[in-house]
Structure 1
Amino acid sequence: MTFIDVNIKVPEGMTMYLHPKNPQAELQRNALLLYPYINDKTISHGKAAEILGIPKYDLIELYNHMGLSYLSLDISEVEEELADWEKLKEELV
């Protein structure tokens, strides 16, 4: 994987945190930079994982450990999905 340096504007007090001390911290930082684009559906988890050079499952686990759930459905949406699935199953029988 090729890395390049990019200049970004951040508050001065943030600069000390932008130089990770280990590869895991660097991966977390880069994953967090990509998360808004996953959240607004500009890119998928798979594409973000590809950019980061890791398997999709590892990225999902990384986000999970940071409290960012892979599934963003609330309970009513889950219930609606299940009801739709049950209806589809009945139509196929």
Structure 2
Amino acid sequence: MSGQQARADQHLFAELGLRTRLFAQGAVAWLFGRGGDPFARLLHSPWRDNPYPLYAGMRAQGPLVRSKLGLLICTTHDLCDEVLRDRRFGVRKSVRVLR
């Protein structure tokens, strides 16, 4: 097998792995949505077609809501603004880069 073919195969396997992970994550989010998680419901139809009742339900739980998916959701503009401006929150550099 040539080096070029090996790289092409490696790329194919990496892409297949990524697609599999994304599909699995979508399936898990859909299942959590079916179970009533409001954030997961925002990601999928039919719930995302009218998100306003979901927004209202999350806001009724308080300014910071934990999704069953483990995510924290800011439900007020003030808290969202505070988090986005806080240097303790940010983007981490990835350990590896997908090519």
TM-score surpassing 0.5? no
| TM-score (norm. length: structure 2) | 0.26
Q: Which has the higher strand share?
A: 2
Relative to the length of structure 1, the TM-score reads 0.26
Report which of the two has the higher share of helix. 1
